[in-house]
């Protein structure tokens, strides 16, 4: 595996981790991680990227803006609307990707959907850990995380925000940057989902309702099917079944 640092359209530096067959030549798949996470936690640590590499893919895994090893600017101007989708498009252009696949988990799934709506055209798309309400009702979801950030030092065990705050502590999240990022993300209108016309897998844990109904999302998309794996929203990324499902769909 190697890590490159690439500038986005506005000069913000994004760390991009790459894993693929020796000698190169693997089919590129861009993998976008979830909120407060990073490429290592979502894709590398539990073997999903390695499974893709063994199947002949090159896993291209950026740390999203305000996450991981990427820049975490504190200037509000660095977080215009749809900034993560714009970063994804900038990486596709910088890497010269023309024939590629796109997969995202949770916030990464939402970013993937927004990137397609804005014009990105992967061959196949994976929306993992995502339901219809996580796209169309994102403002309510983001409000939960903004509240967790604002009450960070007072949240105790038993509070609905406890798990989110615990994860932020584990990941050493820059709360100023994270708050600005959350405010840049807006709802997706149901009518916009018609733009997601490529073959799409909606992949979700059997106990994951964090982002609403995955089956309703499938019904709202032109060419989607649902695949269920074990786990909650947090635990599904630790399941080997996630990597297996990615390989089976993309191969």
Evaluate if pTM is beyond 0.75: yes
Q: What is the pLDDT along the chain (251 residues), one digit of tens a residue?
A: 999 999 999 999 999 999 998 767 899 999 999 999 999 999 999 999 999 999 999 999 999 999 999 999 999 999 999 999 999 999 999 999 999 999 999 999 999 999 999 999 999 999 999 999 999 888 888 999 999 999 999 999 999 999 999 999 999 999 999 999 999 987 898 889 999 999 999 999 999 999 999 999 999 999 999 999 999 999 999 999 999 999 999 99
For the chain, where are the alpha helices, taking DSSP H only? 39, 48-54, 83-94, 107-117, 132-136, 138-150, 162-171, 175-182, 214-220, 240-250
The whole-angstrom separation of Cα 49 and Cα 31 is 9
The whole-angstrom separation of Cα 31 and Cα 225 is 19
Q: Considering the domain 2-137+189-250 in this protein, what is its CATH number? A: 3.40.50.1820
């Amino acid at each position: 595996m190697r890590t490159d640092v690439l500038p986005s359209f506005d000069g913000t530096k994004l760390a991009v981790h790459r894993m693929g067959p020796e000698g190169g030549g693997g089919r590129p798949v861009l993998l976008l991680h979830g909120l407060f996470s990073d490429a290592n936690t979502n894709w590398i640590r539990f073997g999903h990227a390695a499974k893709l590499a063994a199947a002949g893919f090159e896993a291209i895994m950026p740390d999203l803006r305000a996450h991981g090893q990427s820049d975490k600017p504190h200037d509000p101007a660095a977080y215009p609307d749809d900034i993560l989708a714009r970063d994804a498009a900038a990486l596709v252009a910088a890497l010269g990707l023309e024939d590629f696949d796109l997969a995202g988990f949770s916030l990464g799934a939402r970013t993937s959907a927004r990137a397609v709506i804005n014009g990105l055209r992967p061959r196949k798309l994976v929306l993992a850990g995502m339901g219809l309400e996580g796209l169309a009702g994102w403002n309510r979801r983001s409000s939960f995380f903004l509240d967790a950030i604002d009450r960070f030092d007072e949240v105790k065990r038993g509070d609905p925000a406890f798990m989110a705050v615990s994860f932020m502590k584990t990941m050493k999240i820059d709360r100023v940057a994270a708050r600005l990022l959350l405010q840049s993300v807006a709802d997706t209108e149901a009518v916009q989902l018609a733009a997601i016309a490529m073959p799409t897998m909606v992949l979700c844990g059997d106990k994951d309702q964090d982002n609403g109904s995955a089956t309703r999302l499938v019904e709202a998309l032109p060419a989607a099917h649902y695949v269920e794996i074990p786990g909650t929203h947090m635990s599904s990324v630790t399941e080997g079944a996630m990597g297996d499902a990615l390989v089976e769909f993309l191969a």
